[in-house]
Amino acid sequence: MDISDASRTTTQTVTDYDRAKEVQAFDDTKAGVKGLVDAGIVNIPRIFIRPPEELVEELTSHQTNFQVPVIDLDGVRGNNLEEIVDQVRAAAETWGFFQVVNHGIPLNVLEEMIEGISKFNELDVELKKEFYTRDQTRNVRFNSNFDLHYSRTANWRDTLTISTLASTNLDPNEYPEVCRDAAREYIKNVTKLAETLFELLSLALGLKAEHLLEIGCPKEYILLCQYYPPCPQPDLTLGATGHSDPSFLTILLQDQIGGLQVFHDNQWVGVQPIVGGLVVNIGDFLQIISNDKFKSVKHRVVASHVGPRVSVPCFFMGHNAEIPKSYGPIKELTSAENPPIYRDFRASEYFSKRFSTVLDDNSPLHQLKL
Ligand code: OGA
Ligand code: NI
């Protein structure tokens, strides 16, 4: 079926089916998208089919040869610091995205993390169901589509979330056993890398190196272990709808399959996987506190016949759980000529704005403008 046929089909169906009921039935299986694929479906359920106007628009957007900047962190503690800070500044101001290599996390830590997440998703569905919940107070939870009940189109992915937002005391027993050691080791390493990146970003903003650490940017995190099963009709849906991230910074580990795209210069640009590399992007919170100097850029994941694909974005969230902190444009970055663009906010307030709209609507950024 080509896309124009699909648009006609969905024009008829979008209005005349009980979406909420089908969404609920899918959720009740607790088997996620992988459950559909394992059942051998050839036509994807209509809750996953994007609206006709989006599918048509897709025909006019094209990929380019652009490449997200790659920054070599070798020598970050030595002679190369200044050069690295310049590269980070340029990437954060224009792309909002870059990849890092020689970042110090051993390759086996990355590989074992991806393997652990694959293994979790491949567990017997009855075992996985024990983790299936939408209860935000649980530090570790598995489900398909965190926004399933209010998004316009469901995404072709399942997610294991490991978060410190409800409580910073993450008991090791809460992790699924198959990925416990790998996830704990990865989190330890990625948090350390985040600290280095926040130092570089502070310097890139013209602040002292410790600034973003002192306001707690790397303190709490949400680790999303994403699993994108192969899709029989990838042109009709997406792995992840276009969005910007609700974080200060996101560090993303991906396998070699690809599918992540960044919106740059009015086009979708693919982020080419690099063995041992990690993708870094500026989130909405850093755009706000940098008073728009750094950009939080829209990105998405396309669906594919090829898979499963595994990726693990870690969102660094600042202080939330114990003493929620307000954040706003950094004083040193504003002046009479460059007044603050945003008011102070808390993550909880940002989230309530964000989740009252669908993921691909305007982000809450404009609602926090002064
Ligand atoms: C996300 C995201 C990209 C990916 O979960 O916010 O952008 O490659 N994921 O999985
Ligand atoms: Ni994202």
**pLDDT over 60 at 9, yes or no:** no
CB of 224 within 6 A of ligand 1: the answer is yes
Ligand nearest to the CA of 282: 2
CB of 121 within 6 A of ligand 1: the answer is no
The mean pLDDT of 15-42, rounded to a whole number, is: 94
In this predicted structure, what is the pLDDT of residue 8? Answer: 41
In this predicted structure, what is the pLDDT of residue 323? Answer: 81
Report the side by side order of strands in the sheet with 158-163: 70-72, 97-101, 278-282, 249-254, 309-318, 220-228, 158-163, 140-143
Ligand nearest to the CA of 271: 1
In this predicted structure, what is the pLDDT of residue 169? Answer: 82
Q: How far apart are CA 161 and CA 140, in angstroms?
A: 6
On whether residue 74 sits in a domain, the answer given is yes
On whether residue 6 sits in a domain, the answer given is no
Environment class of residue 77 by beta-carbon count within 10 Å: exposed (0-12), middle (13-18) or buried (19+)? exposed
CB of 217 within 6 A of ligand 1: the answer is no
- Lowest mean pLDDT of 85-89, 206-210, 288-292, 346-350, name the range: 346-350
Q: What total number of domains does the chain contain?
A: 1
DSSP code, position 23: H
On whether residue 56 sits in a domain, the answer given is no
Q: Which residues contact 90 (CB under 8 A, 6 or more apart)?
A: 69
Residue keyed to tokens 């107070």? 137
In this predicted structure, what is the pLDDT of residue 202? Answer: 98
- Other CB atoms closer than 10 Å to residue 251's CB: what's the count? 25
- Lowest mean pLDDT of 16-30, 65-79, 84-98, 342-356, name the range: 342-356
The mean pLDDT of 173-179, rounded to a whole number, is: 96
**pLDDT over 80 at 89, yes or no:** yes
Q: Long-range contacts for 206-215 (Cβ within 8 Å, ≥24 apart)? A: 206/332, 206/333, 207/330, 207/332, 207/333, 211/330, 211/332, 212/248, 215/289, 215/318, 215/325, 215/327
| Antiparallel, parallel or unpaired: β 70-72 and 97-101 | parallel
- Cβ 278 vs Cβ 252: under 8 Å: yes
The mean pLDDT of 201-225, rounded to a whole number, is: 97
Ligand 1 atom nearest to 250, measured from its CA: 6
On whether residue 33 sits in a domain, the answer given is no
Query: Which element (helix H / strand E) includes 186?
Result: helix 180-204
The helix-helix angle for 180-204 and 81-94 (nearest 10°) equals: 90
pLDDT digits (tens, 9 = 90+) for 316-353: 999 987 788 899 999 999 999 999 999 999 988 888 88
313 CA → ligand 1 middle, Å: 6
- Residue 128: domain span: 65-368
CB of 49 within 6 A of ligand 1: the answer is no
On whether residue 164 sits in a domain, the answer given is yes
The mean pLDDT of 67-72, rounded to a whole number, is: 97
In this predicted structure, what is the pLDDT of residue 183? Answer: 98
Ligand 1 atom nearest to 239, measured from its CA: 10
In this predicted structure, what is the pLDDT of residue 357? Answer: 61
CATH number of the structural domain spanning residue 327 = 2.60.120.330
- 276 in the Ramachandran plot: left (φ > 0), alpha (ψ -120 to 50) or beta? left
My answer on whether omega of the bond before 232 falls inside 30° of 0, hence cis, is: no
- Other CB atoms closer than 10 Å to residue 312's CB: what's the count? 26
| Antiparallel, parallel or unpaired: β 249-254 and 309-318 | antiparallel
On whether residue 291 sits in a domain, the answer given is yes
User: Which amino acid would we find at residue 182?
Assistant: A
In this predicted structure, what is the pLDDT of residue 12? Answer: 42
On whether residue 50 sits in a domain, the answer given is no
CB of 254 within 6 A of ligand 1: the answer is yes
**pLDDT over 60 at 163, yes or no:** yes
* 3 state SS of 97: strand
146 CA → ligand 1 middle, Å: 13
**pLDDT over 50 at 216, yes or no:** yes
**pLDDT over 50 at 2, yes or no:** no
pLDDT digits (tens, 9 = 90+) for 237-295: 999 999 999 999 999 999 999 999 999 999 999 999 999 999 999 999 999 999 999 99
Of 351, 271, 220, 224, nearest to 96 (Cα)? Answer: 271
CB of 220 within 6 A of ligand 1: the answer is no
* 158: phi then psi, degrees, rounded to nearest 5: -120, 155
299 CA → ligand 2 middle, Å: 6
CB of 245 within 6 A of ligand 1: the answer is yes
Per-state percent for the chain, helix, strand, coil, to nearest 5:
35, 20, 45
74 CA → ligand 1 middle, Å: 26
- Cβ 201 vs Cβ 73: under 8 Å: no
Entry pTM:
0.94
In this predicted structure, what is the pLDDT of residue 230? Answer: 98
The mean pLDDT of 199-203, rounded to a whole number, is: 98
Ligand 1 atom nearest to 260, measured from its CA: 8
**pLDDT over 80 at 50, yes or no:** yes
**pLDDT over 60 at 298, yes or no:** yes
The mean pLDDT of 190-194, rounded to a whole number, is: 98
Report the side by side order of strands in the sheet with 299-302: 238-243, 299-302, 260-264, 267-270
Structure tokens belonging to residue 78: 């030595």
The mean pLDDT of 106-126, rounded to a whole number, is: 98
In this prediction, residue 359 has a pLDDT band, given cuts at 50, 70 and 90, of low
pLDDT digits (tens, 9 = 90+) for 124-146: 999 999 999 999 899 999 999 99
Environment class of residue 328 by beta-carbon count within 10 Å: exposed (0-12), middle (13-18) or buried (19+)? middle
Q: What is the largest CA-CA distance in the chain?
A: 64
Sign of CA dihedral 215, 218, 223, 224: positive
Of 253, 249, 178, nearest to 215 (Cα)? Answer: 249
On whether residue 27 sits in a domain, the answer given is no
Structure tokens belonging to residue 220: 């709490």
- Lowest mean pLDDT of 41-50, 161-170, 181-190, 287-296, name the range: 161-170
CB of 311 within 6 A of ligand 1: the answer is yes
124 CA → ligand 1 middle, Å: 25
CB of 282 within 6 A of ligand 1: the answer is no
**pLDDT over 90 at 168, yes or no:** no
Q: What is the mean pLDDT of the chain?
A: 92
Going by alpha carbons, the residue nearest to atom 9 of ligand 1 is 313
